[in-house]
Amino acid sequence: MSATFPKNAVIIVGYKNSGDVRDCVSALATATAEPDFDILVCENGGVEAFRELFVELTSSNGPCSPLPENGEALFSPTDRLVEIRCLLLVGRSSRLWMARADRNLGYAGAINAWITSLSRFPDWEGIWILNPDTEPYADALKMLVEAATSTHKGMIGSTILRYYDQTRVHCRGGLHWRKLMCRPKLIGFNDPLEKPCNIEEIEAALDAPSGSSMYVTRACIERIGLMDERFFLYYEDLDWAARAKQCGLGCAMGSLVPHKGGTATGSSTSRARRSRMSVYLENRNRIHFVRQHYHKYLILTVILSAAYSLEYLLAGSLSNCVAALSGLIAGVRGETGPPSDLGPRIPTG
């Protein structure tokens, strides 16, 4: 087994959703032989979640086999990744490194922690960030790497498919930011997968690859820096992509990645069923993002965010309406990082 790191790292951030991570890793175990990769998983959910994830991955039906503790010493624990185990993907030479975070680092913090640990290796060329509730097709990474190599662009998105109807597109490449709506729009949302499309038009509209599946070259990371951890969760991918435009944003149309959506964060498509934390952080971080990149639209964003908050009330969720307004106020006040307050709890009864 190689004592060095391969050219690509797949980074997955989990939070008490070991079943999703297992299914994602099982899909990765069927990936094409090239390009080579290892998998880096960060469990943000604590000691019990870390143990449960180990059991899920190494069970009789799991995609990994365990290696002796400290049998592969490429990575050492850090102040943020305090426990690390190395597993081997069944049927291939790829390794999976699972790390337990010392606390919930958020999406950006967990990714940054792994990139920091990875940075000492000289030969890796890019990272593929995957949501744990995705199950990519076998050649998804191959298509991403080929797109990055042929176009010399620094950040590449996949074609994200609806998990339960993979004939329909959730988005092609990622998101387009609508300045006057102060909201992102999914490019190609609900298109039939086989619908003809123009890659040049898609990439011209692309403001951020979907965080569900995003390939980022090492050269891009070294130029723009790490993710901004002040977002904690939501909008960190849009912020990173805004900074990566100088390196080029692209789309690998043939990189197909089915995505369930919202299994870890509670960001259900139903407004009434969304978790209060996801509602709060989305509204708070929208303000932070606009302040960073579209500051001329900040007042408009505050007004529209207040109006968007009322959509939860119309959907029958007073609790989420309050969480949205609380997030808006927190954003205006400049709050960043892990949420300190979700507003008053309203009985949903």
Q: Poorest-confidence range of 8-17, 264-273, 294-303?
A: 264-273
Residue 266 predicted with pLDDT over 50 = no
Which DSSP symbol is given to 104? -
| Residue closest to 116 by CA, chosen among 131, 104, 101 | 101
pTM: 0.93
Give mean pLDDT, residues 139-144.
Answer: 98
CB atoms within 10 A of CB 318: 15
Beta partners for 122? none
Whether residues 235 and 287 fall in one domain = no
pLDDT tens digits for 162-187? 999 999 999 999 999 999 999 999 99
User: Do 230 and 318 belong to one domain?
Assistant: no
Which residue range forms the structural domain that includes residue 248?
A: 8-259
Residue linked to tokens 């006057």: 180
Residue 241 belongs to what H/E stretch?
A: helix 236-244
The whole-number pLDDT of residue 2 equals 52
Continuous segment of H or E residues that includes residue 305 = helix 298-314
Tell me if 235 is assigned to some domain: yes
Same domain? 16 vs 71: yes
Task: Give yes or no: residues 37 and 118 share one domain.
Answer: yes
The lowest-confidence range among 28-42, 62-76, 111-125, 177-191 is: 62-76
Task: Tell me whether residue 234 is in a domain.
Answer: yes
Q: Are residues 133 and 171 in the same domain?
A: yes
216 and 152 belong to one structural domain: yes
C-beta separation of 98 from 27 below 8 A: no
**Residue 349 resides in a domain:** no
Tell me, yes or no, whether 157 lies in a domain: yes
Residues 87 and 179 grouped into a single domain: yes
Q: Give the residue from 158, 164, 215, 208 showing the smallest Cα distance to 185.
A: 208
With respect to residue 321, please indicate whether it lies within any of the assigned structural domains.
yes
> Given 211, 232, 259, which residue is the final one in a domain?
259
Asked if the model's pLDDT at residue 256 lies above 80, the reply is yes
Would 155 be classed as within a structural domain? yes
Examine the domain organization and report whether 214 and 314 are in the same domain.
no
Residue 207: inside a domain, yes or no? Answer: yes
Closest CA to 137 of 224, 249, 239, 252: 252
Domain at 96, CATH number: 3.90.550.60
Quick check: is 347 in a domain? Answer: no
Same domain, 308 and 235: no
Q: Please count the structural domains in the chain.
A: 2
Residues 216 and 277 in one domain: no
Same domain, 95 and 205: yes
